[in-house]
Structure 1
Amino acid sequence: MSGMSSTQPWDVQRLPRADDKVFLITGGNAGIGYFVAEQLSGTGATVVLGSRNPAKAEVAMAAIRSRVSSARVRAVRLDLADLSSLRTAVESMEVDRLDAVVHNAGVALDAPPRRETGDGHELMFGTNHLGHFALTQWLMPLLSTAPAARIVTTGSFAAKSERLDLDDLHSRQGYRPKRAYGRSKLAQMYFGLELDRRLRAVDSTVASVVVHPGGALDSLTPSRPPVHARTTGAWLRMAPAALLVHGKHAGAWPAVRAVLDPSVRGGQLWGPRIFGLRGKPCREPVWSQLTDTSVAARLWDASCDLTGVDLGTIPG
């Protein structure tokens, strides 16, 4: 990571080396998570794919190795909807430190009915936010062992127009899937920023950064068979949209930069440069609703209660 000066322009095609580093990507077997893993695998790091489906993880690892001959990639079974399984999942990684985790995995439902995790949490809020919240507790000792670890939380542009309802975090009232998804991602972003405030309060060596991929479409994403196959017809139909949005390979860029760039600092928000929707990764102002620290603190306390996790004892 020391190969980049903060004064040099960031080149998404020429990433700094990260030999001997260990990175965990939740949901690294598909979508944006796959491209985060593929790009980081080219830096010499060991990349661990967190996936609830071992077969899909195997397919993703084969796809990465076919493009990055030197890739050091492996997988761990990780089901964020099952909070009781997370400690075992972390132990099964069998690493003595973790230099970064990208909280990327997520569920996005586009139609009713409302669904719940086995713990009784609304599925998107329970997986996208509470699962990562609880996972962080078990990862913290490994992150604290690294000299300057990063926790990178992937939000969504869909969260920008949402507001949290702290009295209905499980979307029991007037359930609308797209709104519930946006709120689950907004909760993740609140968490990432609040986590960094608490890390700074105890002088932790770990930093927490929030990113979002902008508008990332499958139809503008290059093929990675059999993980992702793009037809010529789909690309031609959506080519005009490339003026405003991009593919999932580009949607991965903010997270990759947040992991690797030494100039990135905790508490920052990174996204695509052009209207926050497409282009190279850059720092952007923290969205106005995310600056409300009272909401963040109340969400933190509620998340502790709902998961049974006490992240109040963050190691320095």
Structure 2
Amino acid sequence: MPSVHRTPRWDVHRLPRARGKSFLVTGGNAGIGYFVAEQLAGTGATVVLGSRDRAKAEAAIGSIGSRVPGARVKYVPLDLADPASPAASVDALGLERLDAVVLNAGVALDHPPRRETRDGHELMFATNHLGHFALIHHLAPLLTATPGSRIVTTGSFAAKSERLDLDDLRSTQDYRPKRAYARSKLAQMLFALELDRRLRAAGSTTLSVLVHPGGALDSLTPSRPPVHLRTTGERLSRLPLGLVVQGKDAAARPAVRAVLDPSVRGGQMLGPRAFGLRGTPRIEPLWTHLTDTTTAARLWAASRDLTGNDPTFTAPAGFVGTEGPATGHGEAGASIG
């Protein structure tokens, strides 16, 4: 009987080497983004932290360097709420190609009043979605120059029960902070999947992959001084929650897998294995409302009009791809563990 080839199960503790590759992580100076950057740095790749706070980015670089000998980590200024920043940040990268970008940075406001950017957009929608939309527009040439590059978009479990109001994307009516945050993350998730469809239609080899981190708490996150400090009391008081959710180090793993796993396909979504809240990363079925192509296309058009940007990709010159479209979005349709 002929042998059946199976892709080895993904091991979060034995990541493939990526020396010579370059990865950009937005918001890589803190939270989940920090641990995405730390884990990617351990592969030997060059990791660039996109952050609006130089001091925090430098602290993160120092922390990563203390844990990853020989880490190659850099910083580029990036303020996603500033419409002029994405273009300047891409220029400051000084790269001719980019293997992956992780769209991780985000703002979450808990209380009113509603806040706006200087160009009149609601702050969370502008930062979490519009800023990343513009960033991908400006990164498109670098990603196109890199066959098989990846755009990894970080969504949120909070978006699972939300729906977009396309007539009020700026949340000017009945503003509720938690709802506005969830809708901004839903917009990012719909963008990632619409981008996948457009990449395939263009014959591009760049992959758009969607991830969500599940439930992540600071109190379950290991200390990384001075970036994050956890007291013994905090750790002990929240231990029971570890049965349901996880720390931000574990929550970073779906994004890391989406960047590194050669079996991941465009249009797939990765999240924690246990109820989508904790555990090792796996490919999971898309939530039903994420498959709404009409809403996604209308969101793209609105984002284009609001930002003046329109991310466009083509196949790399002279490159003949062998990767076909993904055959399914669930674990059963993939050849990975």
> After the TM superposition, which residues 147-166 of structure 1 pair with which residues of structure 2 at under 5 Å, given as runs?
147-166=147-166
Q: Higher mean Cα deviation, 123-132 or 78-87? A: 78-87
Partner residue, 2:313:
314
TM-score normalised by L of structure 1? 0.97
> After the TM superposition, which residues 296-307 of structure 1 pair with which residues of structure 2 at under 5 Å, given as runs?
296-307=296-307
SS at match of 2:180: helix
Partner residue, 2:238:
238
> Are 1:260 and 2:271 matched, yes or no?
no
What residue ranges of structure 2 are gaps of 5+ in the alignment?
316-337
CA contact (8 A) 1:6 1:262 kept: no
Counterpart residue type for residue 208 of structure 1: S
How far the C-alpha of 1:315 sits from its partner, in A, is 2.3
What residue ranges of structure 1 are gaps of 5+ in the alignment?
none
CA contact (8 A) 1:102 1:154 kept: yes
Q: Deviations over 1:112-150 (max 9, x none)?
A: 110011121100000000000000010010001112100
> Are 1:28 and 2:28 matched, yes or no?
yes
- Alpha-carbon distance in 2 for matches of 1:210, 1:119: 28
- Alpha-carbon distance in 1 for matches of 2:23, 2:129: 20
> After the TM superposition, which residues 156-305 of structure 1 pair with which residues of structure 2 at under 5 Å, given as runs?
156-305=156-305
Partner residue, 1:47:
47
Q: How many residues align?
A: 311
Q: Deviations over 1:50-107 (max 9, x none)?
A: 0000111000000000000110000000000001121111010101100000000000
Q: 1:7 to 1:281 in 2, by over 3 A?
A: same
SS at match of 1:279: strand
- Alpha-carbon distance in 2 for matches of 1:299, 1:135: 16
Q: Deviations over 1:213-260 (max 9, x none)?
A: 000100000000000000111111111011110000000000000000
- Alpha-carbon distance in 2 for matches of 1:119, 1:255: 31
How far the C-alpha of 1:6 sits from its partner, in A, is 6.3
> Are 1:93 and 2:97 matched, yes or no?
no
SS at match of 1:216: coil
- Alpha-carbon distance in 2 for matches of 1:74, 1:93: 9
- Alpha-carbon distance in 2 for matches of 1:309, 1:16: 35
CA contact (8 A) 1:208 1:267 kept: yes
Partner residue, 2:66:
66
RMSD: 0.9
- Alpha-carbon distance in 2 for matches of 1:41, 1:258: 15
TM-score normalised by L of structure 2? 0.91
How far the C-alpha of 1:205 sits from its partner, in A, is 1.1
CA contact (8 A) 1:193 1:267 kept: yes
- Alpha-carbon distance in 2 for matches of 1:59, 1:180: 30
- Alpha-carbon distance in 2 for matches of 1:85, 1:216: 29
CA contact (8 A) 1:152 1:209 kept: yes
Counterpart residue type for residue 107 of structure 2: V
- Alpha-carbon distance in 2 for matches of 1:19, 1:236: 38
Percent identity between matched residues is 71
- Alpha-carbon distance in 2 for matches of 1:293, 1:281: 26
CA contact (8 A) 2:144 2:313 kept: no
CA contact (8 A) 2:35 2:249 kept: yes
CA contact (8 A) 1:141 1:315 kept: no
Q: Deviations over 1:180-220 (max 9, x none)?
A: 00000000000000000000001101000000000010000
Counterpart residue type for residue 37 of structure 2: A
Counterpart residue type for residue 81 of structure 1: A
- Alpha-carbon distance in 2 for matches of 1:243, 1:162: 25
> After the TM superposition, which residues 81-120 of structure 1 pair with which residues of structure 2 at under 5 Å, given as runs?
81-120=81-120
Structure with greater Cα Rg:
2
- Alpha-carbon distance in 2 for matches of 1:173, 1:238: 37
Partner residue, 1:19:
19
Q: Which runs of 4+ in 1 moved over 2 A?
A: 313-316
- Alpha-carbon distance in 2 for matches of 1:145, 1:314: 10
